[in-house]
Structure 1
Amino acid sequence: MNKFPIRTATKAIIIKEGKILLNKYNNGKNIWYTFPGGGQDHNEDLKSNLKRECLEEMGADVEVLDVLFVREFIADNHNPSPSRTGYHQVNIIFECYLIDENFVKPSQPDPNQIGVEWVKIDELLNYNLYPLSIRKDIIEHYTGNNNKIYLGETD
């Protein structure tokens, strides 16, 4: 029996005027970015999960629209540390719309999170956006060159 159940998480892609809204992190050594979102709680539907996570991490009220991408991460395929052996996460990535652009103070920002930032879609390859492999998929999607939804198992 695996010590980790499969973890389901939702992520938000929020686009406005050619820019994407991302969570920004700094641990004193590196700066990186992620999509807002997080793990689904028991008895919580996916859209409610994402609305809650966006409010907790960004202080933003969002309308959750359609699924854009689904990706998996299986730690054993990427030289995991012993503490992560068996870890498997499925991310469902939704397109979202900001209901109100006046953010409130996030109630539960992630560790090392220093804020949010609007990043130009056509400059995503210049940013440490995790997972790194999705940057190209986003650019291709928003330029009309990619309509795949399932991205497979990625880093």
Structure 2
Amino acid sequence: MFKMTHHACVRGVVIDKGKVLVVEHSHSNRPPFWCFPGGHVEENETLVEAVKRELKEETHLDVDVGQIVFVQEFVKEHLIELFFECFIVDGEARLGSDPDNPGMPILTRMKWVEPEELLELPVYPKALSQILFEDHRNFPKIGFQALYEKEEIQKDK
């Protein structure tokens, strides 16, 4: 039996007309900050399904999900966060909600920012903001595929 060691979060990096979409979070226990829209992967949900659902909830956008562009691990929280390049399919971006966090509005603002603004605002993760600032058209991509069954190892004949 496998033991669960990490929880997964997904985030969408949406770039349209040279601007990057970010949402502001306000929590009672820390100052407001900006990040890329997304959240936790739900039980029985694929990573791609989670990205699409989270973007719809938080921004009202329907997206196609591309490659992974960044990965970060929160060691103490046993959380891995995967950032996917996303392409708008339908909808107009407007602030949604974060149903995972009941109570006061957690998402307080949403905006399209120029890549250089990512460095001026408290946008996290800072490392991804720096990458997007340096070249938002050609940022590195990590190959991704979803397998529903393990690939069989071919035996030499």
Normalising by the smaller structure, the TM-score range is 0.7 to 0.9
Query: Which piece of structure 1 moves more, 62-71 or 44-53?
Result: 62-71
Aligned to 1:82: none
Which structure is higher in RCO with an 8 Å CA cutoff and minimum separation 6? Answer: 1
Could you state the TM-score of these two structures normalised by the residue count of structure 2? 0.72
SS at match of 2:126: coil
Cα distance in 1, alignment partners of residues 71 and 115 from structure 2: 19
Aligned to 1:47: 48
Identify if the C-alpha distance between structure 1 residues 136 and 53 changes in structure 2 by more than 3 Å, giving closer, same or farther. Answer: same
Instruction: Say how many residue pairs are matched.
Output: 135
Could you state the TM-score of these two structures normalised by the residue count of structure 1? 0.73
- Asked which structure has the greater CA Rg, the reply is 2
Query: Which piece of structure 1 moves more, 18-27 or 58-67?
Result: 18-27
Cα distance in 2, alignment partners of residues 94 and 42 from structure 1: 19
Higher helix share: 1
Identical pairs, percent: 31
Counterparts of 1:63-142 in structure 2 under 5 Å?
63-75=64-76, 87-103=77-93, 106=96, 108=98, 111-142=105-136
Cα distance in 1, alignment partners of residues 128 and 90 from structure 2: 27
Cα distance in 2, alignment partners of residues 139 and 56 from structure 1: 26
Structure 2: tracts of 5 or more residues without a match: 143-157
Cα distance per residue 1:83-133 (max 9 Å; x no partner):
xxxx12111111001112424673546543113100101221101012233
Checking the alignment, whether the CA contact within 8 Å between 1:69 and 1:92 is kept in structure 2 is yes
